[in-house]
Copies of this chain bind each other. A is one copy, B any other.
Amino acid sequence: MTAQQYGVGARVTLSVYDSGYVQIILAALADADTTGLTIETNDISTFVMGPESRVLGFIRDVIAGAAASGAHLSAAILLSRGCPGELQCALPPGVAAQGSDPVSLEPAGVRARAHWSLYPLLDGESTGEHMTPIYAAIERAKAEGVYSGSDHYATRLDGDLAAVLQTAANAWIAVGATVQHVVTHLTVSINSPSPIDA
């Protein structure tokens, strides 16, 4: 089953805290490599579908491109797998879970701080508890050096934008090897004037 058939993709809302936001966002979207991707932008977010490494590479490039303006920005990112379609999942529950190779992203040269949440969407006939893979993912983030604390409802990541995205994506991919429908959300902040614990 291809990434497209399995519903591998993202929604991204890029918010630029600058009155010149239209030019900054459009330039960042225009400069990013869209090879192998389906991309649709509407008034709320941009939909990106394709193989994991290309989806994440595109997200890194768009955010880094906008960050190069120097403006403060945030990005709300949703990664989903195992539930293609719109109103309903086109894959019924119980389809064999499909993992993928981990992604490896070149550094973006931009520091990112993020709140990250991972949702393994089990069904009643599944085995195990949903928090078990979440705790394992937090341990991996610590080993990868981008963990910087846990706030309520989210894990805090801090590092090069590519490393932050890679940690979240590889946790999502790893859980996806055993759970069909897995979603992860990231809120990334770049160029913030706020101190970390303001």
A contact residues vs B (CB 8 Å cutoff): 7, 9, 11, 13, 15-22, 41-45, 47, 49, 72-74, 76, 78, 80, 83-89, 93, 113-115, 117, 119-131, 135, 138, 150-154, 156, 181, 183, 185, 187, 189, 192-198
User: Are B42 and A151 closer than 8 Å at their CB atoms?
Assistant: yes
Contact A128:B117 (CB < 8 A) given known A43-B195, A154-B78, A194-B42: no
Chain B's nearest CB lies how many Å from the CB of A23? 12
Q: Interface SS of chain A: helix, strand, loop or mixed?
A: loop
User: Are A153 and B11 closer than 8 Å at their CB atoms?
Assistant: yes
User: Are A156 and B194 closer than 8 Å at their CB atoms?
Assistant: no
Which chain B positions have C-beta within 8 A of A74? 13, 15, 44, 76
Which chain B positions have C-beta within 8 A of A194? 42-43
Which chain B positions have C-beta within 8 A of A183? 117, 119, 153
